[in-house]
């Protein structure tokens, strides 16, 4: 019954998408619902393919009305965070489609991505990273906890976005961490998800425990005075 496919992870789903196009003439495209601009582009492409497949032409106007309403609402709501997040350096340690799709969302929030992992990314994913971050994009095939820890010690990142297994490199170094993996507790997809993402990063970065945690312990301060 499908009339169009949106492929989210090219590495795992490209063969299925191609086979459905060959066997059932169902067109597909690779898109992302991370970030305002990517969400808008994906909605437009879905609409274009559905109209191409026989949907009413007025679907285009309905889609544009939805985009105009939701974009304005999302930009207005993230405005209170962007001035606090502007220039903050993010290390993105994930993979697959998130290696490039989350980058554009972070940039829309005013942040700088200092590196993104490409462990589970395809050649096409890496090309998209270069399109977004430039030809000199810092792509990490693999990063050991020791190397990650060193990045934080050298102040090359302000916050880590990763799955739960990688959080300890940041936390051990008294740096904030935000869960970006599939089992996270907050939804980051779509317009509302973009608001959730910048809000959670802001909460992590400006949590009042970090300045307290980084202070020398009282007994260390006494030793330094004697």
Write down the domain spans for the chain: 5-75, 82-208
**Which pTM value belongs to this model?**
0.84
- For the segment 21-77, what is each residue's pLDDT rounded down to a tens digit? 999 999 999 888 989 999 999 999 999 999 999 999 999 999 999 999 999 999 999
pLDDT mean over 145-158: 75
The 3-state DSSP class for residue 119 equals: coil
Q: Please check the confidence at residue 223 and state whether its pLDDT lies above 70.
A: no
Tell me what the pLDDT averaged over the chain comes to. 86
CATH assignment of 82-208, among 3.30.420.10, 2.60.40.10, 3.40.50.12380, 3.40.190.10: 3.40.50.12380
Q: Residue 224: pLDDT band by 50, 70, 90 thresholds?
A: low
**Number of residues assigned to the chain:** 226
Query: Which of 128, 122, 118 lies closest to 13, judged by CA?
Result: 122
pLDDT, tens digit, 9 for 90 and up, residues 95-151: 666 777 788 889 888 998 888 877 666 777 777 777 777 777 677 776 677 777 777
Same fold, 5-75 and 82-208: yes
Which of 1.10.287.3510, 3.40.50.1980, 3.30.1280.10, 3.30.365.10 would CATH assign to domain 5-75? 3.40.50.1980
Long-range contacts at 165-173 (CB < 8 A, ≥ 24 apart): 166/93, 169/145, 173/149
Q: How many Cβ atoms are within 10 Å of 137's Cβ, its own excluded?
A: 17
The percent of residues above 90 in pLDDT, for the chain, comes to 41
């Amino acid at each position: 019954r499908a009339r169009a496919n949106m492929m989210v992870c090219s590495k795992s789903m490209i063969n299925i998408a191609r086979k459905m196009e060959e066997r059932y003439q169902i067109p597909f495209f690779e898109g992302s619902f991370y970030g305002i601009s990517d969400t808008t582009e994906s909605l437009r492409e879905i609409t274009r393919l559905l109209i191409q497949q026989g949907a009413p032409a007025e679907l285009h106007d309905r889609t544009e009305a939805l985009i105009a309403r939701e974009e304005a609402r999302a930009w207005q709501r993230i405005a209170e965070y962007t001035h606090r997040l502007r220039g903050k350096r993010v290390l993105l340690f994930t993979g697959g489609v998130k290696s490039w799709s989350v980058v554009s969302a972070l940039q829309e929030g005013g942040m700088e991505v200092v590196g993104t992992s490409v462990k589970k990314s395809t050649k096409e994913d890496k090309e998209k990273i270069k399109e977004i971050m430039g030809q000199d994009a810092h792509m990490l095939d693999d990063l050991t906890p020791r190397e990650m820890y060193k990045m934080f010690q050298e102040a090359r990142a302000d916050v880590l976005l990763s799955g739960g297994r990688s959080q300890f490199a940041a936390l051990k170094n008294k740096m904030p961490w935000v869960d970006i993996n599939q089992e996270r507790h907050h939804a980051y997809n779509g317009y509302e998800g973009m608001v959730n993402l910048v809000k959670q990063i802001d909460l992590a970065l400006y949590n009042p425990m970090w300045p307290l945690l980084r202070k020398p312990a009282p007994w260390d301060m006494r030793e330094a005075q004697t």
